[in-house]
Structure 1
């Protein structure tokens, strides 16, 4: 299966070098709510070399109270495509909503649920943490995803 995605205007497209949809998680922190303009950010964690991008990207860096991150966006429509973060060296955080097959994404974990919108109900049994989990706990949740 070829996994592809891109920005809103079509100027940026990408191919994910993997056979399956990547494991995705929802982050409910205030930064993700603000930058997504929604109740949470939906992210897929990938190795840095797993994304082949075509098109012009712009970038910005965020070094606030949370781990530092470097965001890449379409240079034309400013759709956020992915970011890297000091919290996950060697990995990139793909915006799962930019996948062409995003309807098939099902979050396998939720982080920063202490900031979750009160009207949002999480699926029972899905791993969740009030803030960021330990790297070990998060890796375990990502590896336990259903096939």
Structure 2
């Protein structure tokens, strides 16, 4: 009876270990950029990347074409929803927002190019604008007056 119990316990332990190993293998991602790199033998310098095209709307998860030699692959990409579509493959360092222009009710800031992703053609400087906030920001010491 003891040997049957021991064999059953060993089989249960082996089954548990096999299931855990299978779970780990399924969830292993293979590095930060494994999903976004094409699976061909081409280096990133040889690969030409197309624009990221979102699956729905104008931001979120999408696909881009990666072309190398005679192969074209679709790879996953993402356009942040708070980012400008025409400069999404370019990373800029932005200055502070300007004061609100009362005539247009907008404020703007400019940015200089930090790096271009996926061999994108980027402008060296860009200017972005957004509507002014209607709320007046209070400093830390101020309290509401009723």
Same fold judged by TM-score > 0.5? Answer: no
Q: Which has the higher contact order (CA 8 A, sep 6+)?
A: 1
Rg larger in structure: 2
